Chain A
Amino acid sequence: MGMLNYIARRLLFSLALLLGVSVILFALINAIGNPIEILLAERPGVTEEIIQSVSQYYGLDGSVTDRYFTWLGNLLRLDFGTSIIYNQPVGDMLWTFGLETLKIQIPGILLALALAVGASVLAATRQYSRIDFGVISGAMLGHSLPGFFFGIILILIFSYWLGWLPSYGAYSTRNLLWDSELADGLWHMVLPVGMLAFFNTATLTLLLRSSLVDVLRQDYITAARASGLPERRVVMGHALRNAVIPVLTYLGILFGLMLGTAPVTETVFTWPGLGALYIMAIQQLDYPLIMGETMIITVMLVGATLLTDIAYVAIDPRIRLG
C-alpha cells in the first residue's frame, strides 16, 4: 500500500505545484502588456480600431481573471491555443518539435550515463593512478567548457574538415542518406547527441567517481571482499549501486531540464526542436507558444522530480515513505 499511496500524494502535490506555476506564468506574461499592441504599435496604417479588433480576435479583451480561467480550462483539455505568428495550433507544434528534442536529448543523457559509469568504475578502482588522473582531468575539462564550444569543435572537425556528418538540421531537404529516412535521421543525430553526451558525461563522471571512491572505502566493501566475492561483483553489485544514490538527483534534474537546456544545443545545430522554437517564440512575442512551452517544461521538471523520488525509494531501502 505504501508505494501507491505515496505516489498518489506526490501526484496531488505536483498538480498543486503546476497550478501555482500557471498563475505565476500568466501574471508574468500579462505584465508585459497587450502583445497585440506591442507588435502592431507604430506601424503605418494601424489604427486603434484594428488593435482592438485583433485583440478581440485573440480573446485579449476580457478581464485578467476571466482570461486566466479560459486559458486554464483550455489547458486542461490540452488546448494550448493558436500561435499568433505561425497561425497553427500550439499543441501540435509542441508535439512535433518536442519529439525532435527528445530524439537527441534522451540518447544524449543515456549515452552519457553509460559512459560515466564506465569511466567512474575505471577511475575509482584505480584511485590516484594515471587513469584516474586522466579521467578526472577530462571530466573537469568537459565540465568547465561551455557545451556549445564542444559542439562547434565537433562541427569544425566532422562537418567542415572531414565532411562526414551534417552540421545542421534533423533531415536532409533532398538526397536522403542511402535513400532512407531512418538512416538520414540517425546521421543527423550524431553530432548533437555527441555534444550532449560529452558535457553530460563530464559532470556525471565527476559526481559518480567521487561517490564511488567514497563507497569503495566503506567497511562493507572490505567485508564483501573478505567474504570471497569476486572483485567484479564487489564493484558492480555492492559499490556501484550505493554510489549511484547521490547521483540520482542530478540525473533527475538532467531529465527534467532537458527542454530548458535544449536552446543551446538546438541553436548550435539549427535543430528543429523545442529549444529553437522557444527562442523564436520569445523573440517574436508569440505568447500562446511561450506559455504552452513553459507549461510543458514545468510538467517535465515536476515529472522528473517525481520519478527521481520513486527511484530513490526503489533503490535505497533506508528511505521511508512518510
Chain B
Amino acid sequence: MAPPLLSVEGLQVQFHTRDGIVRAVDGVDYSVGRGETLGIVGESGSGKTVSSLALLRLVPPPARIAAGRVMFEGEDLLAKPERELGAIRGRRIAMVFQNPATSLNPIYSIGSQLGEILRWHEKLDRAAAEARILSLLDLVGITDPATRLRQYPHELSGGMKQRIGIARALLCNPALLLADEPTTALDVTIQAQILDLLADLRQRLGMAMVLVTHDMGVVARMADRITVMYAGRVCETASAATLFSAPRHPYTRALLESMPRIDHRYTGPRQLLPTIAGRPPGLLNPPAGCRFAARCPEAMAECRTTLPVETVVAPGHSVSCIRHGSQGIAA
C-alpha cells in the first residue's frame, strides 16, 4: 500500500499561559490518502482548528507545537526550515478559512491579492497570472470574473467572498486542501452551494481534503473517512459509512444521538432531543484517564485512571476507548 499523502503522528500543541500549560491538542494521529476527504469533527475547543493550523506551523503564539510529526509527500513539515515550508504553504497545501468576511485583506483588490500569491509561487508575469485567476474565478462559479478582479472584498457578498477564498486556495493546484469550517459563517442556502462546489472541485482536480467542522451533516455529505475529536484527542476514526452505521466510541454515539433525525420519534413526556450532560474538561489540567470519562454513560472506575490508546478494532476503524477494545496505559 502506498504511503498516505499526509500523516499526522502524535501531534501536540500547547498554550503556555501564566497558569500553566494548556494541552489544546494532545497526541493526535490521522492520515489522508491522495484524493481522499477526511472529515474532522469535534465541538468548540476540541482542538480541531488548532491541529489543522499546526500542520502548516501557523498556530498563533502563545501556542507551541510541542511534539509530533506531520509527514507530507515524504517530508516532515514540522522539521522543515521556514523558507522551505513557505514553498509548501499555498502551493502544495492550501487553506480555506471559516470566515470569508475576515480572511481577505480589506485594502487590496481581489486581483491584486490573488495575483501576489500566484506571482510569488509560480513566477508568472502579470498577464499570465491574471488569465489563471480569471479561469479559477470562473471555475468556482463567480459571475463576471473580470469585474471582480478590480473589486474589493467589502463590495462582495459573503458567499462570493468564500468562493474567492476557495479560488485563492486553488491558485497553485494544491495536493491537499485544508478547509476549516468553510461554511459555518454562511447562511444555509449558501452553505449548500459552497459544499457542492468543494465536492465538485475535489473530484475534478483530484485533491485530497481535510474538512474541519462541528457539523455532522456536513461530514456525512462530504467525507470519505471521519475522525472524531474530543478535548484535544482523537476518539474514533472510521469510514463515513461505518461511523454513522456502527459507531463504537460512546462520545461518537452520543454525538450522533444528539442530532435531530427526521425519521425518529423522540420518547418521553416532552419528546426531548438527547444531549450530553456536563461540559468538556478544562485542558489546563486535563483528567488523568479518558477525557470523556466524566460525561460517559459507560464509564467505569478504570476509565478515570487509564488513558486509552487508539487501537484498530476492524479494518479502517480505530477507537480510543477501553470499553470498546482499546489498549490503555495506566496514568
Contact = CB atoms under 8 A, between A and B. Distances in A.
B90 A220 contact: no
Contact of B94 (A217, A227, A233, A317): A227
Given A222-B60, A228-B91, A317 B107 contact: yes
B88 A224 contact: no
Nearest to A221: B105
A13 B53 CA distance: 51
A127 interface: yes
A217 B95 contact: no
Given A225-B56, A228-B87, A318-B107, 17 more contacts: A219-B97, A219-B98, A222-B97, A223-B103, A223-B105, A223-B168, A225-B58, A225-B89, A226-B89, A228-B121, A229-B117, A233-B116, A242-B105, A245-B107, A316-B106, A317-B109, A317-B154
A65 interface: no
Interface in B111-152: 116-117, 120-121, 152
B86 interface: yes
Contacts of B191: none
B106 A317 contact: yes
B60 A223 contact: no
17 contacts: A128-B61, A217-B60, A218-B102, A219-B97, A220-B102, A220-B103, A222-B97, A223-B95, A225-B56, A226-B89, A228-B86, A230-B83, A233-B120, A238-B108, A241-B107, A318-B106, A318-B154
Contacts of A238: 105, 108
Residue from B99, B102, B107 with most neighbouring chain A CB atoms (10 Å): B107
Interface string A106-131: 00000000000000000000011000
A315 interface: yes
**Lowest 8 CB-CB distances: which A-B pairs, in order?**
A228-B90, A227-B90, A228-B89, A219-B102, A219-B103, A226-B95, A317-B152, A220-B105
Interface of B: 53, 56, 58, 60-62, 82-83, 86-91, 94-95, 97-99, 102-109, 116-117, 120-121, 152, 154, 165, 168, 171
Interface size class of A (residues with CB under 8 A): 20 to 34
Contact of A229 (B88, B95, B99, B116): B116
Binding site of A, secondary structure by majority: helix, strand, loop or mixed?
Answer: helix
Contacts of A237: 116
Given A227-B168, A228-B121, A242 B89 contact: no
B152 A318 contact: yes
Nearest to B83: A230
A317 B106 CA distance: 8
Contacts of B152: 317-318
Contacts of A226: 56, 58, 89-90, 94-95
Nearest to B82: A231
A225 B116 CA distance: 12
Contacts of A219: 97-99, 102-103
A217 B109 CA distance: 21
Contacts of A229: 86, 90, 116-117, 120
A316 to B, nearest CB: 6
B153 to A, nearest CB: 9
Interface string A241-253: 1100100000000
Interface string A295-322: 0000000000000000000011110000
A233 B88 CA distance: 17
A102 to B, nearest CB: 31
Nearest to A129: B61
A315 B107 CA distance: 7
Nearest to A226: B95
Contacts of A245: 107
A222 B53 CA distance: 9
A231 B88 CA distance: 14
Interface string A5-29: 0000000000000000000000000
Contacts of B102: 218-220
A93 to B, nearest CB: 44
A220 B109 contact: no
Contacts of B171: 227
Contacts of B121: 228
Nearest to B56: A226
B120 A223 contact: no
Contacts of B107: 241-242, 245, 315-318
B253 to A, nearest CB: 34
Contacts of A228: 86-91, 117, 120-121
A83 B91 CA distance: 71
A127 B108 CA distance: 26
A233 B121 CA distance: 13
A209 to B, nearest CB: 16
A220 B91 CA distance: 17
Interface in A206-222: 217-220, 222
Residue from B103, B105, B121, B168 with most neighbouring chain A CB atoms (10 Å): B105
Contacts of A231: 82
Nearest to A316: B107
A224 B104 CA distance: 9
B86 A230 contact: yes
A219 B83 CA distance: 21
B86 A220 contact: no
A6 B261 CA distance: 58
B177 to A, nearest CB: 11
A282 B99 CA distance: 59
Contacts of A127: 61
Contacts of A241: 107
Given A228-B121, A317-B152, A223 B104 contact: yes
Contacts of A242: 105-107
B161 to A, nearest CB: 11
Nearest to A220: B105
A241 to B, nearest CB: 6
A220 B106 contact: yes
B89 A227 contact: yes
